[in-house]
Amino acid sequence: MKTILLSLAILLVSATFLFAQEEGIHIYNPDADAKANIAAAVERAKAENKNVLLQIGGNWCPWCIKLHGFITADSQIDSLLNADYLRVMVNYSKENKNNMIMKELGNPQRFGFPVLVVLDGEGKRIHTQDSWFLEKEKSYDREKLMHFLKMWNYAATNL
């Protein structure tokens, strides 16, 4: 019975990944100018008293797609994110690894994907979050994600 369930789980994950690839999900843009997008977000964040949340990953990554879907499907998380952060989707794929940006950010890709990086209004990296700690079973944990967003927003980091 366990073998059958495990096989079904593997099949479901594979189908999800293939579906995402076939449907051409484009959450991350390999052609985007990440440096310019980050600079614009930092400038705006400073003016709006917000922090910048870099969501680093790729369209090839099922967990990256899952995180994006999880955030946008939960109106409270989405509202909190939009109220407190400016989010920039930073691509990391074989087409564009954004090596210079990764180096400037302290190589967050070492944590796997997706990885979240918080910048202040000056563009200084103030936190790198391994998304593994935000997971629960086969998805993300709503409470952990809410806690993360509250602990690294502008108000919390500028007491």
Query: Do the beta carbons of residue 17 and residue 68 sit within 8 Å?
Result: no
Residue 103 lies in a domain: yes
Residue 30 lies in a domain: yes
Domain enclosing residue 94, as ranges = 25-157
Q: Are strands 115-119 and 85-91 parallel, antiparallel or unpaired?
A: unpaired
CATH code, domain with 41: 3.40.30.10
Residue 19 lies in a domain: no
Instruction: Report pTM.
Output: 0.85
User: What confidence score (pLDDT) does residue 1 get?
Assistant: 58
User: What confidence score (pLDDT) does residue 23 get?
Assistant: 59
- HEC string for 3-17: HHHHHHHHHHHHHHH
Residue 152 lies in a domain: yes
User: What confidence score (pLDDT) does residue 25 get?
Assistant: 82
Query: Do the beta carbons of residue 58 and residue 64 sit within 8 Å?
Result: yes
Q: What values do phi and psi take at 30, rounded to 5? A: -60, -25
User: DSSP class of residue 49?
Assistant: T
Domains identified in the chain, total number:
1
User: What confidence score (pLDDT) does residue 143 get?
Assistant: 97
Residue 110 lies in a domain: yes
Residue 20 lies in a domain: no
Residue 82 lies in a domain: yes
**Tens-digit pLDDT string for the chain (159 aa):** 555 544 444 544 444 444 444 457 899 999 999 999 999 999 999 999 999 999 999 999 999 999 999 999 999 999 999 999 999 999 999 999 999 999 999 999 999 999 999 999 999 999 999 999 999 999 999 999 999 999 999 999 998
User: What confidence score (pLDDT) does residue 6 get?
Assistant: 44
